Structure 1
Amino acid sequence: MSAIGLKLQEHVGWRPRFQNVLSVLACLFSVYMVYATVFGPYRTTLVHLAIFLTASFVLYFLKDEGTDRQISWSKRIVNYVCVIGTLLSVTHLFLNLDRIITSWGASFLTSTDLVMAGILSLVVLEAARRESVAFFVLSVVGILYILFGGSMPGILGHAGMELEQFLYLTAYTAEGIYGFGLEVAASYIFMFLLLSASMTQTQTGRFIMDICNAFFGRRTGGPAKSAVVSSALLGTMVGSSIGNVATTGTFTIPLMKQAGIPAHKAAAIETVASEGSQFLPPIMGAGAFIMAAMTGIPYATIALAALIPALLYFVAIFAVVHFESVRLKLGGLSKEQIPDARQVFADGWHLLIPPILLFYLLMGQGMSPAYAGVITVIASIIVAMLRKSTRLSLGQVVKVFDDGARSAASVVALIVAIGFIQQALVTTGLGPRLSELILMGTHGSLILTLILSVITATLLGMGMPTPIAYVLLALFVAPALEAVGVSTLAAHLFLFYFAIKSGSTPPVAVVAIVAASIAEASWWKSSVTAFVYSLPSFIIAFMFVYCPELLMQGEWPDIALAVVTATIGTVAFAGALQGWFGWTLSIPERLIISVGAICLVSSEITLTVIGLTLVAAALAVARLRYGKLSVV
């Protein structure tokens, strides 16, 4: 066997040949996406998205073939039917592209055109059903509303749409399957999933965790604090809460348990830290790029605006972890478990070059996200080759492109169905009417509209990747927030914030479930604890709505003052939540501090003074009772 063949076996092992073929397809898919990013889409955007969809669906529906997983014959038949259906419908589009794209509507389509459109629609629905039953139901409801909503009375009624017109818009225009959702996946999400795969193979995550353990390991609750910081740094590159938990949690959670932190609390800490990383610039889980596409606000403006709230989030979580560690009298890591910072940095400093390069390309050069991602992926592989300790084998390089493409396929299986929902909102005029219904229910009250938005975010975000949950919220809820006076930037950041937090909010809490499985803890206790730990960070989103200075909007002195009061508010709320703030707090003191922290949400000077006074008064009473400050 050739040397290349032996290297490839490091990646594929002894898996059946079918998976080898899929790995080749995945790598070719990744190479094509790199080509399309650098040189532009093949022929037209529609053709490019059709190729992207086809490769994704082939990888998605055949991912279990040739593996050890047991597949029923009925599911295997459906898998191949979906693959054949995708290939037939896309091939038909390619062969008749000029005629279809120049047609003036559904009346110019043939019966074969409509049948192929129907087949592709059914395949998309099947993919959505497998990924999320809730999203599948939402998509079906959207289709039914498009077709039969014309007979509905009152504000929900619309002019109606024939089946032929629906199929035309769905399968051959940017109003349906080849619309915003698939374009987001191809333009933003794919390349950063590829980047996540490269960071995993180059051991960048392990380097970051070792550095954090070296700095925080010996301190009170050291492993937990290290988990917070390492998850923040790594997660902003991984771009997925679940991916971050799976990557960092396998290292941080066992260390937290060894330090005496209960399993469900270790899972909760990793969950909230991994979630927050999606709000931290520069990548923000691809959210900033999607937001820029939806709102027209420049990416740099969005990333800069998110910086202070993101840092406040981790201040809040760090405070919760510290107060909890002091209250439980937890120690740090043993001397043997703490890496030598100088040695770790000397061995792996070069791994920081790709993240720094990415930040420079995005913020300094204003480069497109996909193009910057391509350069960073290539740079991460080249940089890793510079040192023997991080050098990649051919099999590992193959795995970068293989894993990236397969991860993207799962996201595409869900996000492509957004085309049905987008069409239901746009073509029927339902979007503006939904805003009217929300405003009628809240009577135009800002605080009630914000609270209803949080509830909606939790419901729509159940079991869905953050980018998809955010897109739905941007379509459904953002217009209502803007109607009650919230700026476009603040409204979309608010919704994105709570789309992220839906991953740890019961009853679904998919991120907490993954963390709990690693910690071997109860997923319910883990999700509830993660929700409680997140409460101090919840007020941050309300803060930047009421205080635009936290989004870098305003004069620098006002921004600095807002940061100080917001920091006091979040830390105070964390202390009230944990019942410890230098001294053990009584229930009345905790309530007073909580009210004071909530008052600090607003930038209004009167409420700020009241909030600071309440916090100071409660702490003064605690000091009189206990004397000098407890050791922290």
Structure 2
Amino acid sequence: MTAETEQETPVLLDFVLRVIGLGLFVYMAYATLFGPYKTTVVHLAIFAAATLFIAFLARQRSQKPLLRKGQWGLDILAAAIAVISMVYLVIEYERLLNLWGANYLTSLDVWMGLAMVAVALEAARRQSVVLALLGLASVAYMLWGNHLPGVFSHAGMDIQRFTYLVSYTSEGLFGTGLQVAATYLFMFMLFGATLQATKTGDFIINLANAALGRQTGGAAKGAMAASAGLGTMVGSSVGNVVATGTFTIPLMIKTGFRRHVAAAIETNTSEGAQLVPPIMGAAAFIMAQITGISYATIAMAAILPAILYYLSLYWVIHIEALKEGLHGMPESEIPSARQAMRDGWHLLIAPALLFWLLIVESFTPAYASLISLAVALVAGMARASTRISLAELLYQFDIGIRQAAGITALIVSIGILQAGIVSTGLGPRLTEIILAVSDGSLLVTAFLAVIAATLLGMGMPTPIAYLLLAMFAAPALITAGAPKLGTHLFLFYFAIKSGSTPPVALVAVVAAGIAKANWWKTAVTAFVHSLPGFIVAFMFLYSDALLLQGNAIQIAMAAVTAGVGVFAMAAGIQGWCGDWIGWPERAVLVVAAIALIDSGSITDLAGLAVVGAILALRLARRTPRKHA
């Protein structure tokens, strides 16, 4: 929450929102330890009522008096409807959950159910017009899709059946999206807020700069490591940019990086953090919920892809620094690794415990994050250098709760789309349509999925973009021959990258704002710098070994070919391969990188041979000129 927002929110309402937020945290902690109140749907209704109330009333408002009054009226109305409709469900839950079908709904049941739908759409509209329009289209399709021709036609449904499916079953508003928000996202965002409060971010930044600050382009490489370390716990690309970019972007600019380049580097490093286990921006838990694959399998499978993603950024940063003749950070500004560890080693206890509880002990994500949150507080309070006041802790908690409420307000509307896909049988027909367009080709299907990721992910948080892609694109990819785990990691990767892809590019806009750079140049540069990582993402579809599925030799070969492919693409787009190279060699390297996508095939040998030959030739004929 910004100071500007605090000024615009009345003091009494601000106090009420904080009290409700803390009350929600206490309830969610209780539910985590002792189980939800009554049934799962009732538990989700309580959670939705509180988060929607906070989301509607905590938003930033216009400075113009007339607009401000209008906004207040709409916000209060929306918050009231959200609470009343959810409380109605809580009170009437026994009768509603035991109905034999939609025909047994009363008129009041229908009106309250429609009120829930209207609130969900309004909550989505405030943050993502795209998602709101998709929700409206889903409503229209369920009610009047029987009038459409061909494969899109379905049997149709009346208003009672629509209300019953969307508002009172686990296939609608209380489906996968809201379950994910309540079960995973909320507690992990509070865990991230606790780490922020205990200055874990400062510790990670100091440690990263101590390790990499002396290298060529050291400020950017330090930013890369810091974002990777902190971002997996923050759970938001934008949040990671704000948390680390405030420190790293000015430092990169100070050491010689152009403003838009510094912003692009921070954009990519902050986005990539969501690939880093154990938390992966909560995506691992969402993926486990959707696919039925265990969390431990998903987290382990993400290790090599995360390493390769940051290896690709490392090469891009290194070559960018060589182009500009940049060196490392000034010695006076490089922290001592020994001192950093001495001051902050205790801050690693909570993240390490979280990993242990999730991977080794197989605790539920909510329980593991709650225990780790408590340990993070104890560890932070144990030493004077990281001790914080109760007021600061409550402030950070308030930020985390409001961020969680904002994401939940978006994610509730996912249930409308889920109902539209399931109840009308649209899912299988979409798969058939996509496969008909791609003629069953896995590569073409994958490119169609990338286009969908870019369009569906515009301006949306990564978890929501991934959820949409899992519903719309995953079945087609799997039917085209891609492995289930590889498919979902592929879609998750491009859901992440949608945050920096023009024309919306929200993550790049935030980074550009910190750097005082042109956001369009930042977004385009971030996209170009991401191209080596795209090689890794497409490998998910062709190589189970890259996801640690297979024997040691297969995994090692996949890792080597992927590493070479990443280097080849970085070298091709940046124009450096042991020495500065011209356009013909750059084009050949890009083609070689693409050839290395299908691991274990004859194209691997060709790709490796080409990259090795160009690198050897350039090293042998190395010239002292700055760049081509």
TM-score between the two structures when normalised by the length of structure 1: 0.95
**Shift of the alpha carbon at 1:354?**
0.6
- Per the alignment, residue 589 of structure 2 pairs with 593
Q: Determine if contact 2:206/2:340 at 8 Å carries over to the other structure.
A: yes
CA distance 1:396–1:135, change in 2 (3 Å): same
CA distance in 2, matches of 1:557, 1:534: 28
- Per the alignment, residue 44 of structure 1 pairs with 39
2:82 alignment partner, SS class: helix
Bigger mean CA deviation after superposition, 264-273 or 554-563:
554-563
Structure 2 stretches lacking a partner, 5+ long: 1-5
How many matched pairs? Answer: 621
**Shift of the alpha carbon at 1:14?**
11
1:349 alignment partner, SS class: helix
- Per the alignment, residue 117 of structure 1 pairs with 113
CA distance in 1, matches of 2:529, 2:109: 53
CA distance in 2, matches of 1:411, 1:381: 24
Q: Determine if contact 1:15/1:67 at 8 Å carries over to the other structure.
A: no
Alignment partner of 2:241 out of 233, 237, 245: 245
CA distance in 2, matches of 1:14, 1:112: 34
- Per the alignment, residue 3 of structure 1 pairs with none
CA distance in 2, matches of 1:463, 1:144: 23
Q: Deviations over 1:505-563 (max 9, x none)?
A: 11111111110011110110000000000000001011122121101111101111211
Alignment partner of 1:212 out of 208, 215, 226: 208
Alignment partner of 1:447 out of 443, 447, 464: 443
CA distance in 2, matches of 1:608, 1:103: 59
CA distance in 1, matches of 2:332, 2:7: 36
Q: Determine if contact 1:582/1:629 at 8 Å carries over to the other structure.
A: no
Q: Determine if contact 2:487/2:540 at 8 Å carries over to the other structure.
A: no
- Per the alignment, residue 288 of structure 1 pairs with 284
- Per the alignment, residue 421 of structure 1 pairs with 417
Match status 1:201 vs 2:197: yes
CA distance in 1, matches of 2:367, 2:188: 11
Alignment partner of 2:82 out of 79, 86, 102: 86
CA distance in 2, matches of 1:208, 1:91: 43
- Per the alignment, residue 8 of structure 1 pairs with none
Q: Determine if contact 2:458/2:498 at 8 Å carries over to the other structure.
A: yes
- Per the alignment, residue 479 of structure 2 pairs with 483
Q: Determine if contact 2:62/2:68 at 8 Å carries over to the other structure.
A: no
CA distance in 2, matches of 1:65, 1:550: 44
Taking only the aligned residue pairs, the percentage that are identical comes to 50
1:160 alignment partner, SS class: coil
CA distance in 1, matches of 2:542, 2:251: 39
CA distance 1:104–1:358, change in 2 (3 Å): same
Alignment partner of 1:383 out of 361, 379, 386: 379
Alignment partner of 1:32 out of 14, 27, 31: 27
CA distance in 2, matches of 1:106, 1:49: 21
CA distance 1:202–1:544, change in 2 (3 Å): same
- Per the alignment, residue 518 of structure 1 pairs with 514
CA distance in 2, matches of 1:95, 1:562: 56
CA distance in 2, matches of 1:200, 1:253: 19
Q: Determine if contact 2:477/2:487 at 8 Å carries over to the other structure.
A: yes
CA distance in 2, matches of 1:107, 1:220: 70
Match status 1:59 vs 2:59: no
Alignment partner of 2:453 out of 432, 449, 457: 457
Bigger mean CA deviation after superposition, 196-205 or 12-21:
12-21
**Shift of the alpha carbon at 1:124?**
1.1
Amino acid at match of 1:603: S
CA distance 1:606–1:399, change in 2 (3 Å): same
Match status 1:234 vs 2:206: no
- Per the alignment, residue 3 of structure 2 pairs with none
Alignment partner of 1:613 out of 606, 609, 612: 609
Q: Determine if contact 1:324/1:578 at 8 Å carries over to the other structure.
A: yes
Q: Determine if contact 1:583/1:630 at 8 Å carries over to the other structure.
A: no
Q: Determine if contact 2:249/2:263 at 8 Å carries over to the other structure.
A: yes
Alignment partner of 1:276 out of 269, 272, 279: 272
Alignment partner of 1:263 out of 259, 265, 269: 259
CA distance in 2, matches of 1:569, 1:394: 50
CA distance in 1, matches of 2:227, 2:144: 47
Q: Deviations over 1:328-348 (max 9, x none)?
A: 111222122111222121111
TM-score between the two structures when normalised by the length of structure 2: 0.96
Amino acid at match of 1:199: L
CA distance in 2, matches of 1:64, 1:437: 40
- Per the alignment, residue 6 of structure 1 pairs with none
Question: Where in structure 2 are the equivalents of 1:300-449 lying within 5 Å?
Answer: 300-449=296-445
Q: Deviations over 1:559-579 (max 9, x none)?
A: 112111211111121111111
**Shift of the alpha carbon at 1:618?**
2.3
CA distance in 2, matches of 1:354, 1:625: 51
Amino acid at match of 1:349: W
**Shift of the alpha carbon at 1:400?**
3.6
- Per the alignment, residue 549 of structure 1 pairs with 545
**Shift of the alpha carbon at 1:101?**
1.2
CA distance in 2, matches of 1:156, 1:15: 49
